[in-house]
Amino acid sequence: MTDAVFRETTADPRTQSIPLSHISLEIGHLYMEDFEAGPARLREHFARVRPWVDAVLASAGNGKGARPRVSTCFLVDDYFSRFSSPAEVVPLLLTEAERCGLTIDYLARESACDMADGVRLAEAVEHRLVESPPPGSDGSRPPVKEIGWLANGERTPGVERLEAMANDLPPSWRPPAETAAHRHSVFMDVELWDDRDGRRTWSCPFLAAVWQLARLGLLRHRGEPVLRPRPRPEGGFPRDWADLAPLTRLNPAAQPFAAYRTCSVLPSRFLPVEHAVRVILGQVEVDPGALRQVAERSAGERIALPDAVADRVTHVFCAEA
């Protein structure tokens, strides 16, 4: 006679783990106008990026001797504008990158940060936003879920509120204040989306925050990983962006897409966007199971990781011609 074993289903681990590289290195995030400018523009981009990629790869080893696991990725904007086709764009990208000695391991569509494989990723991250109220907040500011704006501190009060507080005295202006300011504030108020004609359009910073969370391996849907890479299509790339996988593995020998840390080598015009990304990441309640898995894996490899997710994200900004 065998003894029956009873176990609560909630006791079983539900969060599925994923393989991790040491660094996810983004070597491009270009828009329609960049591709419309032709191969020369892409060649210029990769030529400017190449020295910085070499520097990141050289520093990734950290002097420990072991070869670091590094995967490269490229993000194409098919969310704000649909242009050309994967059949024309992807071979052009690969050719120009190869001319500059670069390999693109993974290609992602920006629309995948909205929805991938039937999962609304941006909406899921929006549900995990937890605002950090600045000291002295009185609750007069509407929550982010109502207005679609997220700040890193306290906004300047409206005139009506100042007048109410002034007891018939002339209203005085008060500046905005960053919550964790170092002596002086760098205040930022980020628009996360807009709703027009019943349709929501996510902002570039919010989609970029989703993109960073995916690259850090911290997104899950019912415990399962999202934005899983699919192999390069066998018969050539499709004519329509909707027919291309949200995330495509272009290099069969590539290291894992997700990583302990990310680094993005981008044109300098992306600096304000990436500042906004840090503001967003600082107020997202990341899946605790995914966080715990990454912490356990990094400890097993003796890799020190910052507790703050935003501090796992780094950038190199290149001057533009």
Both 310 and 175 in one domain: the answer is no
| Total H helices, total E strands in the chain | 9, 17
Confirm whether 38 is domain-assigned: yes
Structure tokens at 119: 């999962």
Cβ(104)–Cβ(250) below 8 Å: yes
Domain count for the chain: 2
Q: Over the stretch 160-188, which tens digit does the pLDDT of each residue have?
A: 454 455 555 556 778 888 888 888 988 99
Nearest to 109 by CA among 100, 121, 123, 101: 121
Same domain, 157 and 278: no
Residue 136, in any domain of the structure: no
Beta partners for 249? 106, 231
Two tokens at 80?
Answer: 């704000």
| Domain end among 194, 210, 227 | 194
- Cβ neighbours, 10 Å, residue 46: 20
Q: Are residues 122 and 224 in the same domain?
A: yes
In this predicted model, what pLDDT tens digit does every residue of 212-250 receive, in sequence order? Answer: 999 999 999 999 999 999 999 998 999 999 999 999 999
Question: Do 236 and 306 share a structural domain?
Answer: yes
- Considering the domain boundaries, does residue 70 fall inside one? yes
Residue 73 clears pLDDT 90, i.e. is over it:
yes
Q: Do the Cβ atoms of 21 and 258 come closer than 8 Å?
A: yes
Cβ count near 86 (within 10 Å): 24
Whether 48 and 77 share a structural domain: yes
Confidence of residue 12 (pLDDT cuts 50, 70, 90): very low
Low-confidence winner among 73-77, 185-189, 309-313 (lowest mean pLDDT): 185-189
Does the structure show a pLDDT above 70 at 159? no
* 178 and 224 belong to one structural domain: no
Is residue 3 domain-resident?
A: no
**What pLDDT is stored for residue 11 in this prediction?**
44
- The pLDDT mean for the chain works out to 87
- Residue 188 counted as domain residue: yes
Across 12-21, 75-84, 245-254, the highest mean pLDDT is recorded for 245-254
Assign 156 a pLDDT band (cuts: 50, 70, 90): confident
* Residue 175 belongs to a domain: yes
pLDDT score, position 2? 45
pLDDT value of residue 76: 93
Please indicate, yes or no, if residue 237 is contained in any of the structural domains: yes
Same domain, 226 and 296: yes
pLDDT on residue 231 = 96
Tokens found for residue 75: 């993000």
Return all residues near 233 (Cβ < 8 A) that are at least 6 apart.
Answer: 244, 245, 248
Structure tokens at 316: 């190199």
- Whether residue 34 lies inside any domain: the answer is yes
Q: Which residues pair with 21 in a beta bridge?
A: 259
Q: Which residues pair with 200 in a beta bridge?
A: 195
Q: Is the pLDDT of residue 57 over 50?
A: yes
Q: Is 211 helix (H, G, I), strand (E, B) or coil?
A: helix
Domain that holds residue 20: 14-127+202-318
Shared domain check, 226 and 122: yes
Round to whole Å and give the CA distance between 148 and 232: 37
